[in-house]
């Protein structure tokens, strides 16, 4: 379903999938670099139809640009390559959809989208706050990505859902700026009201799911959401102006059953439909 047969991107499309297979700053278990390939492979077993969204992938225009070639030992160059690919996508009039890779790959994509949409808001689904000032002295880390995003676009323009792990300083920061939001139905209605007509970048770290259904991720955290909560969230955001998306932190080799890859691919399908229909 998602593949790079359209690598030259000659067909007109509204959404462009960009693989970002990088996991050079992961802090626990590596393997997210294999995420994009696993999502594509698992997608072959999915239906194109989403009954929850009443939409079909065959009715939207998307293309897959394949994976970027990223040097594992040079974080700055990796981020620059991703930024260039997202800039090119935006120049072509398409919405970027990154497949990670670790969560740091979101940063250059958000930077590029923010340059085009200065009133951008960012919605984060994640088990972790990712609000550290640095991790072991490194500021460009998957553990710090949302801190860098907040510094870029402002804390008032960020909402974090599903977070259940972080340092005392991170929780103090989230409470101070009230970036946390809930996934209850009434809270999602408030979230959509807060978004209003502003453009949205949605970043989904797959460890937001409970390890019982998403074991294939580098930093699993007990107490996460299930598929039905995610489906409710996606349905609530249908109709919002999605100008950038990503799904990150699938480490498929950590789940030999392959179920984590299937869940990730299905999440990508729903997000594509939500953004494109």
Annotated binding-site residues for Mn(2+) read: 103, 126, 128, 130, 205, 207
Task: Give the integer Cα–Cα distance in Å for 148 and 205.
Answer: 16
Contacts of residue 136, Cβ cutoff 8 Å, sequence gap at least 6? none
Pairing outcome for strands 55-56 and 49-50: antiparallel
Report the interhelical angle of 227-237 vs 185-195 (nearest 10°): 30
Q: Which residues are annotated as a binding site?
A: 103, 126, 128, 130, 205, 207
**CA distance to 128, 133, 177, 188, 271, per residue, from 172 (Å):** 14, 13, 9, 23, 31
Identify whether the C-beta of residue 86 lies closer than 8 Å to the C-beta of residue 18: yes
């Amino acid at each position: 379903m998602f593949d790079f047969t359209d690598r030259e991107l000659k067909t007109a499309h509204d959404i462009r999938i960009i693989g970002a297979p990088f996991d050079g700053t992961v802090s626990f278990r590596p393997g997210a670099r294999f995420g994009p390939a696993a999502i594509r492979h698992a997608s072959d077993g999915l239906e194109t139809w989403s009954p929850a969204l009443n939409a079909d992938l065959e009715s939207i225009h998307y293309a897959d640009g394949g994976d970027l070639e990223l040097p594992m030992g040079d974080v700055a160059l990796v981020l620059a390559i991703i930024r260039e690919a997202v800039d090119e996508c935006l120049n072509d009039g398409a919405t970027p959809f990154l497949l990670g890779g670790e969560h740091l790959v979101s940063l250059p994509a958000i930077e590029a989208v923010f340059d085009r949409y200065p009133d951008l808001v960012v919605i984060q689904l994640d088990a972790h706050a990712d609000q550290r000032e640095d991790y072991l002295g490194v500021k460009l880390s998957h553990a710090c990505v949302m801190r860098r995003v907040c510094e870029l676009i402002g804390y008032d323009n960020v909402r974090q859902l599903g977070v259940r792990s972080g340092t005392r300083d991170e929780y103090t920061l989230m409470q101070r700026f009230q970036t946390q939001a809930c996934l209850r139905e009434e809270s999602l209605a408030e979230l959509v009201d807060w978004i209003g007509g502003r453009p949205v970048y949605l970043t989904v770290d797959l460890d937001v799911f409970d390890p019982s259904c998403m074991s294939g991720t580098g930093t699993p955290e007990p107490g996460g959401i299930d598929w039905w909560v995610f489906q409710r969230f996606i349905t609530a955001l249908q109709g919002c102006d999605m100008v950038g998306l990503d799904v990150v932190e699938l480490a498929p080799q950590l789940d030999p059953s392959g179920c984590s890859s299937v869940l990730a691919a299905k999440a990508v399908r729903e997000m594509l439909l939500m953004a494109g229909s």
